[in-house]
Amino acid sequence: AQRVTQPEKLLSVFKGAPVELKCNYSYSGSPELFWYVQYSRQRLQLLLRHISRESIKGFTADLNKGETSFHLKKPFAQEEDSAMYYCALSGGSNYKLTFGKGTLLTVNP
């Protein structure tokens, strides 16, 4: 069975501070990992995916297969980064995503 764990329900940082949202997964095959974000009163949207190795809005995430982790990082948090962040895993066909429980990030001024 596949599982995604986000250990922090809430994370609060100050503007300009580094931020790291943790994500660990359990899957026996080769997973595809994603980070989705939900800003206040907006729909869920893709932030980034591991296969692209891209940086979106200053966020990066590296897949560490040894530690089965896909932590999301940003060196300098901004107030507009305040949102709910979900780590998700696609482990097979049909693009079914298994989501973690989410981390609510608050960036204080």
| Interface contacts to other proteins, rule CB under 8 A | 4, 6, 9, 32, 36, 43-46, 49, 51-52, 86, 90, 94-102
Among all chains, which residue has been given the structure tokens 């560490």? 64
Q: How many CB atoms within 10 Å of residue 89?
A: 23
Report the nearest approach of other proteins to the CB of residue 94 (Å). 6
Q: 43 or 66: whose CB is closer to other proteins?
A: 43
Report the nearest approach of other proteins to the CB of residue 87 (Å). 9
Asked if 82 and 107 touch (Cβ cutoff 8 Å), the reply is yes
Report the nearest approach of other proteins to the CB of residue 16 (Å). 29
Q: 4 or 105: whose CB is closer to other proteins?
A: 4
Q: 74 or 91: whose CB is closer to other proteins?
A: 91
